[in-house]
Structure formats: structure tokens, C-alpha cells
Amino acid sequence: MDTCPRCQSPLERLSLAETTTVACSRCGFADVPVEHEAEWQERETWHEAMERFYER
């Protein structure tokens, strides 16, 4: 990967300790691998939101 996938500018290689990644100084893209899972939160209905609003 020599160019940014967002803006096609040249990428810089950045290293810290044993971790190396590429980043774009123009748009801020950073190719940083992450491991996470989204936690689904139940959404509040408008009725519940209005009740909560008026309780305060």
C-alpha cells in the first residue's frame, strides 16, 4: 500500500516499539488493525425518551 485508499496521497510508515503501520498526513487515514466486537444496546423508544425527559 503506497497510496492512501481515501485520498490517494503518499502514505508514511510509522513505527513504535514492535508495531508498524502506515498513515496519511493529508486526511488522517491510519491502517491500524483492531480487534473488537460491537455490543448491541437496546434502543429507547420516543415514548420512553419523553418520559425520561419529563421525569427530570
At residue 12 the predicted structure's pLDDT band, cuts being 50, 70 and 90, is very high
Distance of CA 44 to CAs 26, 41, 49, 54, Å?
39, 9, 6, 15
Nearby residues of 20 by Cβ (< 8 Å), 6 or more positions away:
13, 14
Amino acid 35: pLDDT: 76
Amino acid 54: pLDDT: 93
Q: What is the mean pLDDT of residues 7-18?
A: 91
In a domain, 45, yes or no: no
Provide the residue range defining the domain that includes 6: 1-31
In a domain, 40, yes or no: no
- Structurally, how many domains does the chain consist of? 1
In a domain, 9, yes or no: yes
pLDDT tens for 13-46 read 988 888 888 999 999 898 876 777 878 888 999 9
Helix (H) or strand (E) run with residue 21 in it: strand 19-23
In a domain, 16, yes or no: yes
Amino acid 1: pLDDT: 61
Amino acid 27: pLDDT: 92
In a domain, 6, yes or no: yes
